[in-house]
Chains A and B, each alone.
Chain A
Amino acid sequence: MKFHLFKNLKTTTFAIVILSLLCFSFSNGQSKVVTGNVIVDGAPLPGVSILVKNTSRGIYTDFDGNYEIEASPTDILVFSYIGFLTKEVLVADQTTINITMVEDASSLDEVVVIGYGTVKRKDLTGSVSSIKADEIEKVQTVSFENALAGRATGLQVVSSEGGPGSSSKIRVRGGTSINASNDPLYVIDGFAIDGGAQGTSVGIGNSSTSPLNSIDPSTIESIEVLKDASATAIYGSRGANGVIIITTKKGKKGRADFNYETYLGVSSLSRKIDLLSAQEFVDWRNEFTPWDPDDPNDPFVGAFRDEFGNNIDLRDPRVVLTDWQDEITRDAVITNHKLSVIGGSDKSSYAASFSKLDQEGIINTSKFERYAGNLRIDQTITDRLKAGMNLNVGFNQTGGVISAASENANGRSGIVTNATLFSPVQGITRLPGAEYDADGRLLTLRDGDVANPNAILENDINNGTAQNIFGNVYVQYKIADGLTFKSSLRLNTFGGKNKRYFSEKFGWGGTANGRAFVNTYQGRGIVTEQNLNYFKSFGAHAINVTAVYEQQATSFENLTAAATGFDLPNVNLDNLASATVTLPTQSTFSENSLRSYLARVQYDYDDRFVLNVSARYDGSSRFADDNQWGFFPSAGFAWKVKNEQFLKDVSWLNSLKLKVSYGETGNTAIGSYRSLASAGLASSIFNGNNITTGVAIERLSNKDLTWETTSQIDTGISLSLFNNRLSIEADYYEKETTDLLLERPLPSTSGYTTAFQNIGALSNKGFEFALSTINVQSDNFSWTSDFNISFNENEVLDLGGANEFFVRAIGDNQIQDDYVVRVGESLGSIFGLQVDGVYNYSDFPAFDGLTNAEAAAMIYADAAAQGVPYYDVVYTLRDDVVLSSGQPNRDAYRPGMPKFEDQNGDGIINSEDRTIIGNTVPDHFGGFTNNFKYKNFDFSVLTTWSYGNDVYNKSLRRGTTQEIPYFNKYGSVRDRWTPDNPNTDVPVIWGDGDAGIAGNAYSSYVEDGSFIRLANITLGYKLSNDVAKSIGIKSLRLYVAVDNLYVWTKYSGYDPDVSVGNNQLTPGLDVDSYPRARTFRMGLNVGF
């Protein structure tokens, strides 16, 4: 049980600061001087607030933890510090009072950043998850997103294509939109930036990076995830997808605290994809083209045979064997250094840090480097005036090869596709359609379709740089008691450059003598915020009012240049003028602005009831005059039941709070200019090759467009029991998004196939549960656990009259539609043909009455008689067996051809038999963290999981197809249908080619993506303070950690935690994703 000095009073730490600063000079006549020392874990704790209860007199401990205060014997001193249990001590006759502070496990006193202000967790009416610096620091992740995974309820973090520096998809309580963004709003030190991942691809890549990856996570003081409307409505038209508030570290009162942090890690490939071994591939290949003694010169026949038709011996020195996954991956080194200083005096505080991260990717040549610096200064100028500024600067550099490619064929695949498909064997004879280099090394296969991965690594270039700067200055003035005005100006600029070169030596680049792409982009945002805060308590009532005027203008521009034909060795990207062909330069520019008025009133009665009402009035440039302004209200109510009289004496119950909230938020995250009529570029050619500029009408003006609205109701309970040993937070929510911005299909006879309109609706419902326990707490040993689980159900309610529309995922370019957005289903539904095994002996009258062995013998005999391979002998299918439109002739079937489910029962399978074949939304996901502490050792284990989600492994399309002889195959092909192996679902050689239905996804590409991951294990040792002091330092911690130690999953690709591409309508897509690493790290933190 905590003591509340400022009962009904405290809502912000800021209030304490002001009050204590202003009032400590008043003194009491009967007083004496009390001194003492405050420690935690044996170390002095500076900055602890000491207040004389029921007065406004107070002081802080100095940097050695000492304090001195005047007090009378009847006074009660209140010692408080954020994150620690508050202590109250009666002065009586003591003149020295030494205090040991104890960490507050329940964290109810912790201060939570809620946007335009802060609140104590115990007074929260909304649903907000917090991740604090110590959690982030202990694990020391490379990216901000990794720090979030598994740590908070309702927050799903999924990797994108997975390479170093790549982004993650983050969803707060499910996606609320179809066409507008589903990314949460990120607020970095008050600066709101829309969206998450930015596509950084030029050429054929499909990589994306997060604008946040220039931020060093160790500079973050706290991350708050605002989930329900009571919390997010203050962000109005941008709050529908949740808000993630990132607050960087600021200075603390006390002696300058220097810290040096470093770690060194080694990453390696955590799982390999199961492919055919070299011998298995050769066996498959030779089965594909049986030996024809009459045609010994056919190069197809000679591929992996000697001149006598014998299969080659792979030990033959002329044969080159390569395991390409081993060949392209490495033990990659990651190093990080950071120097920081934090300190301050009564009037000023400062924090500064600089860090450098150098991360090698596990694929050779890929890398991510980050330089991050930040500086924050706060200064109290007078009693009433305070000012400050902070600056975060990040620069990063990526390099390597393309992993996720948007096309994945015709020599335009990413490195992983090349590594899985490229032949593991280079035989004795030269293959048709293949390229070889001067040394006779096999360079490309199948007319340049896939290339030697080593050649790609050696010759192709894929580099990028990015910089991101956030700056913020503010002045704050106390107008009167409880009334404060704060004015802030914030600036964000970011930019970058990406360069891709496809070598002139082979493949796609080779056909144009080298292809170069250079892209630069630049964006900026300016925000001004005028914030008026009033805080007053009288009797049992306390009121806190915030009123804000804010405006934000952002712009983005982009320029891409491309050229082909490079004759000078090693001169390409950095001198495009040397190209023989210059391709058209492309540029874009867009800007938008937002003007807002917002207010929040928090009313607290008797520390029992809290009512929080907020409203925001937003005007967005994205919409036409009449629809520019929108109103977003919310109300939240919390009842702190424990503080009721009837529970006062229930000692096992430490806190119990019930809350309910309702509110509305919006989503304007669509492109600029969508409400305006436009005529777009439509040039044509005359006289053979004269380009003549033209324009043509392409969009009607649409003045009715407005934002999407999400209304959300949330009810929750938080309680803590048994001396805070057990804390529970549970929330149930329902949110419904209406006025979805959708492309409404129009009769195309109008000249427009769609019009963007506010139609449609979708819902998310879910339950979140978090449990924190202190399992063991003794002087030397403690064990705490944090468990969280989230359930979210997403359903498309209305598509404006349409029942469904289809979405094509990137990757294999033959498949047309692989995802569907359909009323009654969730977003992320995979769409295609349901595979029903293969046609087998029993489907053919010809095999009636035969055993499998006899049937096999018959096929071999017929094949010999016809002089064709066994897989070219056809039979007539039974009349009642479904036909594939891929082979419309019933008498041209053979066992082992793929068979599909006839959804519409018309007896023939075609694209009309497509159905939903998988769902990428998990049933539940979560994390489980265990922290142990023994003397100076700390040990933590983080486990994360996702259950019930499917992954669309589109790589299988090419990886399992058995029509292309030159490519290696996935391991599942081992179990292919042969006359002797009829009990299988894996088609026969040429099966898909003959009976497959081109252009469709098959359910055999959909896999269960459930997993449990041992995400991080960290073991640390902290030098005791005495020892540290004796060697002249303040503190020292050593640790070893493993990231991604093990994943339990049935998934056959690299990792089921994957979502390649920037399309939010194709989640759970794996095509050509970057292999996942397991990383061992050791680190050192030293404080001076």
Chain B
Amino acid sequence: MKNLSNLFLLSFLVISMTSCDDDYLTEDPTNFVDPSALLVDRAGAETYLVGAYDAVQGTISSGVPANGSGNSGWANHWGTLGTDEVVVPPWGGDRKLIYLQQITPTNATVREMWENMFVALNRVNSVVDRIGAMTPNQIDIEDRDNFVAQARFLRSTINFALVSTWENVPLIKNETTSLDNLEVSQASTQEVYDFIIEDLQYAESILPAEQGGGRATKGAAQALLGKVYLQMTGFPLNQTDKFALAGSKLLEVINSGVYDILPNYPQVFELDFEQNNEMVYSIGMDGPGKNEGGLLSTFYGPNGNVNNGGGWGTCFINQGFEASYDREDIRLLNNVAKHNANAWSPEDGMNNPDAWTVNINQWRGWKWHASQDGAYPNDTPFDNPYIRYADVLLMYAEALNGQNMLTQAAADMTINRLRSRARMTPNAVPAMVVGSQSQNSDEILDERRKELCFEGWRRNDLIRFGKYQEAITGITQGGPNAGDPGTEYQDFEIRWPIPNSEIQINPNLDQNPGY
């Protein structure tokens, strides 16, 4: 009997340590959340809304590799590469193919950008849908509408990028909630633009007029609406009646009194002046080491070690672009690097001609000047300007000129304000004198490149002005063995191909013509 009691004692000890409750096989994760558990009050909604900003941060900007969203930001890959701002050397990988107009439906960057944008779109749709469905006892209706309006602004930036880049894209209006019926078809270009306009008009009607510090505002919605209308005047819609709509919307921004240009051009891109009054909407970034960094100042940056404030050296300045500047245009000094960051400080690199020892083929684009101390390779803190007030001024001039209504007074208030800011000596950078509509148009386009280079709008600008082919055919030199893109270009390449991988798993998608 004693043996038996021993046995029971020992067995009891062992068995008592065996957890027999029913939850034994139930997972209870503590390192992520279920959205439905979050969206029960205002604070949860706000947190969820920030996720929509994050989605745009990684895709529409110049890219956020630290977030794992890949090195394929829309602003640089679509907006700058493959234009006449930069040239790409042989080691540029996919960037070189974009530059040389050798994009195929299997191009990895094209695929990655497509994927990232639709992932971002779904996140934003999720915010619109789920916050929009919250009830008054969870959140004040005013707050709810404000959040939804911000998200709809963000959604329009994604849809605008999609339709600009691929032209024929599916129009996804809601969050995906099941794995069924995923084989969507493309919408017409007009339908996509209409949806963008609808989102922006809603945002404009709800959001407050202010500099948002990186958040969507009334001004941002109006400025983007103006930009979207302008884009509709060019290829492929060619709706010139939109000049008037653009003009009046942009004038509202100008008249709002919220924005102004900074007196000093380089200051606009300094770390200490992020979210200044010139920023109508600028995408927030910070770094290094915060998983919130961007690529400005490494994607474009001077020669030298990235850790010393140098750039990667995967794109170089188009020499024709450099030559287009007046020599005493401050924007030339700010936007083109002719020095080596290992040897020279950013101040010397910009202002000290002794620093300009780098061979002409090694000149680089350079707008956001990383300082040598505490440099931040591949993980830079610079906010990415999306729409600047300078852009609003230039767009307004363009809208007027499109209606053949550009007066000298209007030019002075817009283009010439920017030129006067750029002028380093009294006789430098002559003011624009209004001429014929097409002369004005050329001048405005040229001014846009000088002022807005590397901010991601060049390709849309060239397409809208009908000058894309002319511009890339004009590149005949520059960079180390960069090659000449013009010889390869064909008309259909004005838009990008739908990624092959997408067409393979969704037979309802049609490839863009030519590819």
On whether the two chains bind one another, the answer is yes
CB contacts (< 8 Å) of B97 on chain A: these are 885, 910
CB contacts (< 8 Å) of A1049 on chain B: these are none
A886 vs B239: C-alpha distance when bound (angstroms): 40
CB contacts (< 8 Å) of B125 on chain A: these are 751
Pick the most buried of B108, B114, B122: most chain A CB atoms within 10 A of its CB: B122
For residue B342, CB closer than 8 A to chain A, the reply is yes
Q: Verify A385–B7 contact, CB threshold 8 A.
A: yes
A389 vs B17: C-alpha distance when bound (angstroms): 16
A432 vs B63: C-alpha distance when bound (angstroms): 31
CB contacts (< 8 Å) of B24 on chain A: these are 551, 553, 593, 595, 621
For residue B255, CB closer than 8 A to chain A, the reply is no
Q: Verify B383–A688 contact, CB threshold 8 A.
A: yes
CB contacts (< 8 Å) of B33 on chain A: these are 678-679, 695
Proximity bits, A582-602, B CB within 8 Å = 1, else 0:
011000111011110000000
For residue B30, CB closer than 8 A to chain A, the reply is yes
Proximity bits, B201-225, A CB within 8 Å = 1, else 0:
0000000000001110000000000
A672 vs B29: C-alpha distance when bound (angstroms): 9
On whether A584 and B289 interact (CB within 8 A), knowing A511-B375, A748-B118, the answer reads yes
Min CB gap A588→B, angstroms: 6
The chain A residue sitting closest to B20, CB to CB, is A551
Min CB gap B450→A, angstroms: 26
Q: Verify A595–B25 contact, CB threshold 8 A.
A: yes
Of the candidates B102, B176, B292, the one whose C-beta lies within 8 Å of that of A888 is B102
A553 vs B27: C-alpha distance when bound (angstroms): 12
Q: Verify B51–A679 contact, CB threshold 8 A.
A: yes
On whether A747 and B183 interact (CB within 8 A), knowing A679-B34, A993-B91, the answer reads yes
CB contacts (< 8 Å) of B306 on chain A: these are 410, 447
For residue A619, CB closer than 8 A to chain B, the reply is yes
Proximity bits, A709-736, B CB within 8 Å = 1, else 0:
0000000000000000000000000000
Q: Verify A753–B289 contact, CB threshold 8 A.
A: no
CB contacts (< 8 Å) of B308 on chain A: these are 447, 511
Interface set, chain A 443-473, CB cutoff 8 A to B: 447-448, 473
CB contacts (< 8 Å) of B49 on chain A: these are 694
Q: Verify A688–B284 contact, CB threshold 8 A.
A: yes
For residue A1084, CB closer than 8 A to chain B, the reply is no
The chain B residue sitting closest to A816, CB to CB, is B108
CB contacts (< 8 Å) of B427 on chain A: these are none
User: Which of the 9-residue segments A191-199, A330-338, A994-1002, A1055-1063 touches chain B?
Assistant: A994-1002
Interface set, chain B 256-296, CB cutoff 8 A to A: 271, 274-275, 284-286, 289-292
A177 vs B92: C-alpha distance when bound (angstroms): 35
Min CB gap B360→A, angstroms: 16
A530 vs B10: C-alpha distance when bound (angstroms): 12
Min CB gap A172→B, angstroms: 28
For residue B152, CB closer than 8 A to chain A, the reply is no
On whether A682 and B27 interact (CB within 8 A), knowing A511-B375, A998-B93, the answer reads no
A814 vs B91: C-alpha distance when bound (angstroms): 9
For residue A179, CB closer than 8 A to chain B, the reply is no
For residue B505, CB closer than 8 A to chain A, the reply is yes
Proximity bits, A505-519, B CB within 8 Å = 1, else 0:
000101110000000
Q: Verify A679–B35 contact, CB threshold 8 A.
A: yes
Q: Verify A697–B57 contact, CB threshold 8 A.
A: no
Of the candidates A676, A700, A745, the one whose C-beta lies within 8 Å of that of B176 is A700
A697 vs B33: C-alpha distance when bound (angstroms): 9
Interface set, chain A 674-689, CB cutoff 8 A to B: 675-689
Min CB gap A563→B, angstroms: 9
Min CB gap A889→B, angstroms: 7
For residue A752, CB closer than 8 A to chain B, the reply is yes
For residue A382, CB closer than 8 A to chain B, the reply is yes
CB contacts (< 8 Å) of A752 on chain B: these are 119, 122, 176
CB contacts (< 8 Å) of B274 on chain A: these are 688-689
Q: Verify B35–A677 contact, CB threshold 8 A.
A: yes
CB contacts (< 8 Å) of B501 on chain A: these are 745
For residue B479, CB closer than 8 A to chain A, the reply is no
For residue B240, CB closer than 8 A to chain A, the reply is no
For residue B493, CB closer than 8 A to chain A, the reply is no
Q: Verify A447–B126 contact, CB threshold 8 A.
A: no
For residue B26, CB closer than 8 A to chain A, the reply is yes
For residue A564, CB closer than 8 A to chain B, the reply is yes
CB contacts (< 8 Å) of B307 on chain A: these are 410-411, 447-448, 508, 510-512
For residue A654, CB closer than 8 A to chain B, the reply is no
Q: Verify A621–B27 contact, CB threshold 8 A.
A: yes
Of the candidates B92, B215, B304, the one whose C-beta lies within 8 Å of that of A447 is B304
Q: Verify B305–A998 contact, CB threshold 8 A.
A: no
Q: Verify B275–A687 contact, CB threshold 8 A.
A: yes
Proximity bits, B340-383, A CB within 8 Å = 1, else 0:
00100000000000000000000000000000001101000101
For residue A562, CB closer than 8 A to chain B, the reply is yes
**Total A-B pairs, Cβ < 8 A:** 286
Q: Verify A749–B118 contact, CB threshold 8 A.
A: yes
Q: Which bucket holds chain B's interface residue count?
A: 35 or more
CB contacts (< 8 Å) of B47 on chain A: these are 693-695
CB contacts (< 8 Å) of A697 on chain B: these are 35, 51, 122-123, 126, 175
Proximity bits, B64-90, A CB within 8 Å = 1, else 0:
000000000000000000000000001
Proximity bits, B29-60, A CB within 8 Å = 1, else 0:
11111110010000000011111111101000
Of the candidates A686, A688, A993, the one whose C-beta lies within 8 Å of that of B215 is A686
Min CB gap B20→A, angstroms: 9
CB contacts (< 8 Å) of B214 on chain A: these are 684-688
CB contacts (< 8 Å) of A675 on chain B: these are 27
Of the candidates B52, B90, B177, B488, the one whose C-beta lies within 8 Å of that of A993 is B90
A8 vs B473: C-alpha distance when bound (angstroms): 90
For residue A489, CB closer than 8 A to chain B, the reply is yes
CB contacts (< 8 Å) of B30 on chain A: these are 589
On whether A511 and B305 interact (CB within 8 A), knowing A688-B383, A691-B290, the answer reads yes
Proximity bits, A1055-1079, B CB within 8 Å = 1, else 0:
0000000000000000000000000
A48 vs B356: C-alpha distance when bound (angstroms): 90
For residue A622, CB closer than 8 A to chain B, the reply is yes
For residue A487, CB closer than 8 A to chain B, the reply is yes
For residue A887, CB closer than 8 A to chain B, the reply is yes
Q: Verify B305–A685 contact, CB threshold 8 A.
A: no
Q: Verify B54–A683 contact, CB threshold 8 A.
A: yes
Proximity bits, B503-515, A CB within 8 Å = 1, else 0:
0011001000000
For residue B182, CB closer than 8 A to chain A, the reply is yes
Q: Verify A748–B34 contact, CB threshold 8 A.
A: no
CB contacts (< 8 Å) of B93 on chain A: these are 814, 816, 998-999
A675 vs B214: C-alpha distance when bound (angstroms): 35
Q: Verify A696–B123 contact, CB threshold 8 A.
A: yes
CB contacts (< 8 Å) of A910 on chain B: these are 97, 102, 104
A687 vs B10: C-alpha distance when bound (angstroms): 64
For residue B326, CB closer than 8 A to chain A, the reply is no
Q: Verify B27–A487 contact, CB threshold 8 A.
A: no
Pick the most buried of B30, B123, B381: most chain A CB atoms within 10 A of its CB: B123
On whether A584 and B291 interact (CB within 8 A), knowing A487-B14, A747-B506, the answer reads yes
A899 vs B48: C-alpha distance when bound (angstroms): 52
For residue A187, CB closer than 8 A to chain B, the reply is no
22 contacts between A and B (CB under 8 A): A411-B307, A487-B11, A511-B305, A589-B31, A593-B25, A622-B27, A673-B27, A677-B35, A685-B285, A686-B214, A688-B214, A696-B54, A747-B183, A747-B505, A748-B118, A749-B170, A885-B102, A888-B102, A888-B487, A910-B102, A994-B90, A999-B93
**A residues bordering B, Cβ < 8 Å?**
381-385, 387, 410-411, 433, 447-448, 473, 475, 477, 485, 487-489, 508, 510-512, 526, 528, 530, 551, 553, 562, 564, 581, 583-584, 588-590, 592-595, 619-622, 628, 672-673, 675-689, 691-697, 700, 745-753, 755, 801-802, 814, 816, 885-889, 910-912, 963, 993-994, 996, 998-999
17 more A-B residue pairs beyond the given contacts A682-B123, A693-B47, with a C-beta to C-beta distance below 8 A? A385-B3, A488-B14, A583-B290, A594-B25, A619-B25, A679-B34, A684-B54, A688-B271, A695-B32, A695-B47, A696-B52, A696-B55, A745-B501, A746-B179, A746-B505, A748-B119, A749-B182
